Chain A
């Protein structure tokens, strides 16, 4: 019985350690995951926070420039209302390798991960999330 108790204590310690690691892990590494509408609505409160924002690249807003430290990419991130001009959008700045699926004429759905600073979303990563990447949209939907 004594040995079982010892083992129980060991197991409890282990479970406690996992719980602690998970709790602090969530505390220190979590970022808000927002749609562009949610982001725009509350962006004032998000200054200098880590965020992950899903939105659509606005047509005609993409600028690329080659610099010695790599390619600079600027575009405006707007909502998913398709062709219609969104009422509001946020400028995004990114240095790095533009993803393969990113369209220079705009219209790509992207997830931007980075920090919101001085009115600009400074992106660490830009991921394209194309709904038809692995799975075509239902034919009836188009």
Chain B
């Protein structure tokens, strides 16, 4: 099976190269057959990747420890689910998984577009296959997944215990799908530049792809935060670690792109800017892979220096050089047909939103590579930690939050005083009222006050928008409130889906503000029966229990949670000692309420005195992070969901449900 896998990779490499040649030749000499052959080859690449993935999965499941990858990342005692997850637990496997996603998407793109998009397809196939060829070259020449060991070890080294967690099952795949998804709009953008067809066909074709990529990038980041929170045991969910930043930066530029394409679709502006964003987003996904795979920047994730770094940086620079050259060549064709009319307009608000997003991305980029820059310039490595990122991004994030309230409701072209009053007077007052209420309630942190006020403002703008839409439907069609709400969203999926995403983002801002401003932390050593106080909880340590299994030994603490002298819960923070490789891990325990989490870590345990160190955190409002993520995901699904095809027109469309100042 392993030989079959290795052969399949070589075959896929050859077919990718063939597809590139045929696609370019077909484009140059207008040979339809050549292009068709390239498209079939692209699907063939997918087939061979499927075989390779199947072979690796088979080797993992069959515990074929003669294969280095299998011996390193699995063992006979590893549960089956994690044995499958080991496919993306190591370097070669994760690159193979990446290719699986890329070629699957390429296949769908080919099947979707080969008839409808004949002009762009040759170049699209060529670009996608260049990316595929690069990753295949890594797998064939640099880090082969089917490498055999000189001897067959009786047992594997097992998957890293930190990865043996259910988030591992979904976090990396989500992130990879997001990363790879960014290649599709990039390929279409490049095709538009190559062919000179710079109308918005490429943007409309890739709209759903971009949203899909964005959706998975968002999920990937969110799952990563959840993983850090539940597994790493330091009480937080985001540490501005280079690897986290690597996933966050393309998300920022992709978010900017999703917003600025609306301006191009509606106003035919920002064509160059959109090209820049799509190039930047794709480059950042490659840069992210480079960061995590090269070891150039130290990270708590601590990947080794694997020798892949130079290849990735080379590919990244080549990609940037070629795409920027194409962009400069086509610059004359990308002139805007419209200009900005007023600074008080939706165009301006969207542009500002874009600048802020790209500004945040740049600050994150700068902070991430600062050690490398400072070493090159001043000869000494200087790092900036979380305080840098928080300092820079807090004001920018709040500006973004403000624009999120303004952007969707301000008028196109030029906002009149009436438009501003109608859409923003009430929400503005609500925001101010919320701020005032918090001041009276004793909140004094400036950023927290500002953030919560802005959250209230944005929520008010959205609720107002929904309420108006529902009222208009009720007046026109006479529906019930619930029915009107559902129909309103269903008939304007893109617009109201977008609003729902914004609601989710506001909730995430609430969580970030709560945890950033009001987090509490306690660390004490306690003997059985002793207590500690945190927030309005009293915690009583009730001792530790030991348990042993062939795979893991457990040390489980019992901590009673008391409020007002009554036991309301018992939590069990845990230490686990994995046996292969020998490594302890921390399992946190928490009690979640809407107001926040009580989060417990068993720090250390002294057998002789039966004393344990307990770390206790109160993370206010953190639940809003996950719920906000779910709401945003729901909004994205609504936005992406295809409109029902060819419904006979029944003419209930309430033109009055949308006022003059809206997107479609």
Contact = CB atoms under 8 A, between A and B. Distances in A.
Contacts of A34: 380-381
Contacts of B387: 25, 28-29
Nearest to B304: A135
- State which size class the interface on B falls in: 35 or more
A10 B68 contact: no
Contacts of B392: 18, 21-22, 25
Interface in A43-83: 52, 54, 64, 66-71
B363 A133 contact: no
A66 B395 contact: no
Contacts of A24: 391
A69 B149 CA distance: 49
Contacts of B385: 29, 31, 113
B381 A33 contact: yes
Contacts of B304: 131-132, 134-137
Contacts of A3: 340-343
Determine which residue in A6, A34, A71 has the highest number of CB atoms from chain B within 10 A of its CB, and name it: A71
A111 interface: yes
Given A18-B363, A68-B524, A70-B613, A32 B302 contact: no
A4 B370 CA distance: 34
B23 interface: no
Interface string A115-142: 0000000000001011111111101000
Interface string B568-608: 00000001000000011110000000000000010110100
A96 interface: yes
A95 to B, nearest CB: 8
Nearest to B526: A68
Contact of B340 (A4, A21, A98): A4
B197 interface: no
Interface of A: 3-4, 6-7, 10-11, 14-15, 17-18, 21-22, 24-26, 28-34, 38, 52, 54, 64, 66-71, 96-98, 100-101, 111, 113, 127, 129-137, 139
B301 interface: yes
Contacts of A14: 352, 355-356, 359
B117 interface: no
A135 to B, nearest CB: 4
Interface of B: 68, 72, 89-91, 149, 157, 160, 162-163, 298, 300-304, 306, 339-343, 348, 351-352, 355-356, 359, 362-363, 366-367, 370-371, 374, 380-385, 387-388, 391-392, 395-396, 523-525, 575, 583-586, 601, 603-604, 606, 609, 611, 613, 615
Contacts of A11: 351-352, 355
B362 A18 contact: yes
A23 to B, nearest CB: 10
A70 B359 contact: no
By Cβ-Cβ distance, the 6 closest A-B pairs, closest first, are: A97-B603, A33-B381, A29-B387, A135-B304, A18-B359, A29-B388
Contacts of A69: 523-525
A66 B530 CA distance: 15
A75 to B, nearest CB: 15
Given A3-B341, A133-B302, A68 B525 contact: yes
A28 B359 CA distance: 20
A117 B525 CA distance: 26
Contacts of B157: 136
A113 B399 CA distance: 32
Contacts of B306: 135
B298 A111 contact: yes
B370 A134 contact: no
A138 B89 CA distance: 16
Given A10-B352, A33-B382, A135-B306, A22 B366 contact: yes
A33 B379 CA distance: 11
Contact of A18 (B351, B396, B586): B396
B383 A30 contact: yes
A74 B89 CA distance: 34
